[in-house]
Amino acid sequence: MQKIDTVQEFEQLSETNSRFFFMKHSLTCPVSSNAFNEYQSFLNKSEEDGYYLAVQESRELSKHIGEKYGIKHESPQAFLFIEGKPGWNASHWNITENALNKL
């Protein structure tokens, strides 16, 4: 799992990877901490590529994703990007290892 901090890094990631998971994570929210643990557990057991941002440190990128794809910002929020577009997203308690395994 790799941290992405800038719009430029995200755009390059999106252009060079046909499928990847991405999570918006809050460093201060207990719900986000739980979702992040589920996300990490999923990635540790799979062959999928996974990335994340910390909302408090990457507000510009978080805002960019919401505006570019027309998806209301939530935190925590997880996405599966396919061919440069979100094919799935979920937030809060819906981010579970089990839910991610079904994708």
The CATH number for 9's domain is 3.40.30.10
Domain span holding position 61: 2-101
Q: Would you say 79 and 86 are in contact if contact means Cβ atoms under 8 Å apart? A: yes
| pLDDT attached to residue 29 | 95
For residues 66-79, average pLDDT? 94
Domain count, the chain: 1
User: Taking the complete model, does pTM exceed 0.85, yes or no?
Assistant: yes
| pLDDT attached to residue 80 | 98
| pLDDT attached to residue 10 | 98
